[in-house]
Amino acid sequence: MHPTDLPKAAQDADYVIIGAGSAGCALAYRLTEAGRTVTLIEYGGSDIGPFIQMPGALSYPMNMSRYDWGFASQPEPHLGGRTLATPRGKVIGGSSSINGMVFVRGNPQDFQHWADSGAAGWDYAGVLPYFKRMETWHGGQSPLRGTDGPLHITRGKRKNPLFNTFIEAGQQSGWPRTDDYNGAQQEGFGPMEATIWKGRRWSAANAYLRPAKKTGLLTVVRGLANRILFQGKRAYGVEIERGGRTEAVHATREVIVSASSINTPKILMMSGIGPADHLRQHGITPLADRPGVGCNLQDHLEIYMQYKSLKPVTLYTYYNLLGKGRVGVEWLLQKTGLGASNQFESCGFIRSSDAKDYPDIQYHFLPLAVRYDGKSAAKGHGFQAHVGPMRSKSRGAIRLASGDPKAAPEIRFNYMSQPEDWVEFRACVRHTRRIFDQPAFAEYRGDEIQPGDAVQTDDQIDAFICEHAESAYHPCGSAMMGAVDDPMAVVDPELRVIGVEGLRVADSSIFPRITNGNLNGPSIMTGEKAADHILGRPMLREAI
């Protein structure tokens, strides 16, 4: 390793965190707030610029190699051998800088399941105080919501009539209305919440990292984390590559990996922590044989149900060079207008069948018929619902492709590998048609663009899903939290990596099971709660 020219503050920090993403930024803020020194390693560059900061431009950064790692799955056997894009943020703020800005905590049952799976203390009563601590909620007054946290949670103005039409149609279909799906009742249709504040993307970088920098206790180092350095079985630092040189970044107390559910297991395996035989195949000497590293990989799949609009009220009016230019100029000058919204302003959470005791289908409604990556819009006015099941039993794995730290890992989600997945997805299609067939949509609803009226039977719907289902970009679970005696657990309930010392993981890879909804909120909560574990503070709990 080369002699280092790292800043002195980065050579002897109390803590080294790998990854300036959702959990890493929150963790850095709470540790520096407590007076600890932190070195934060991030491979990606600056998040400054309109493509990231303008909510309405959300389809751009996840398709830019400057901001996205560019991962893709291996060919998925149950989806016709397709490879699915797996965007992860390669930028300050991580995926919170390139995501759709939708804020969902998850269902209380999610966290009870975590606790029942061996993650003691991570039940709803144990995580609710951290959800409250992290947020400033602008939706009114509620004992279940936070009022003075770093993360601003807002709601769109729902000026477009289609947003409220979708909520009304959901109620006409027989489901309840919910005024706060992050509060007392997740099930139902209502306004969607977003990490947007004063017209800007309120990423983990804006909410946490910039305040942390002001303490003078945080040093951000740009470099690629190759592996964790150990003395015996105790982590003492991180080997990074920077400017063609390898250097060591030391931690006097602990190293925390917050590098995403894709890169975290890769870094652990590169460091000798993982399935021993797999590590040896790539020339890596096992330090701790943990077969669960990289396993338990989960994600949400979704399809886009699209309809033509009989009235010219959709965003298609602005889906041209002139229209986009006008939206962009208004946002640049005033941080207002369509550019100040992610356009996900109404939503729904429903049960696929009466046999379910929780809502297991999620809707994002959008007043435009377009692909999520913005690459192709239906010609003419249209609208769509993104819909998919929340709790697939399918599990995949992350594996090393080689012993080269620069090589992307192999990602196999094993999507749709369980028969129940197909049953739930068919229910998604049929429930969605029922919603759009309600009287509320009568004046707007034209022909079904996708899947189309010809797609009716189970086999036809299955063929459509096989060809068109896309990731909702919620990968998690690949370094599972559980009881110390669980052979598949990677971290204990205090997020300490089992089998070594001085090393923790804090990001969505620790989730025992995927949560009901988008993952940015639970990922930030993980960083918040991790800070109290690391600092040895009494854990917050709330009587519910």
Is the Cβ–Cβ distance between 313 and 307 less than 8 Å? no
Would strands 273-274 and 288-289 be described as parallel, antiparallel, or unpaired? Answer: parallel
Length of the chain as a residue count: 544
The residue from 250, 431, 474, 533 that is catalytic is 474
Nearest to 133 by CA among 122, 147, 143: 147
Is the Cβ–Cβ distance between 290 and 274 less than 8 Å? yes
Nearest to 181 by CA among 148, 214, 137: 137
* Cis peptide preceding 312, ω within 30 of 0: no
Q: Is 474 in the active site?
A: yes
Nearest to 165 by CA among 59, 300, 310: 310
And the tokens for 188?
A: 């139902």
| Integer Cα distance of 305 and 448 in angstroms | 8
| Integer Cα distance of 508 and 525 in angstroms | 10
| Integer Cα distance of 125 and 108 in angstroms | 9
Phi-psi domain of 232 (left: phi exceeds 0; alpha: psi -120 through 50; beta: other): left
| Integer Cα distance of 244 and 350 in angstroms | 51
Q: Which residue has tokens 């096989």?
A: 466
Strand partners, 136: 147, 152
Residues in CB range of 355: below 8 A, 6 or more apart: none
| Integer Cα distance of 296 and 298 in angstroms | 6
| Integer Cα distance of 230 and 214 in angstroms | 31
Q: Is 91 labelled as part of a ligand binding site?
A: yes
DSSP 207: I
Q: What angle do CA 203, 261, 150 make, to 5 degrees?
A: 25
Residue 151 belongs to what H/E stretch? strand 151-155
Per the annotation, binding residues are 91, 99-102
Per the annotation, binding residues for FAD are 91, 99-102
The catalytic site residues sit at 474
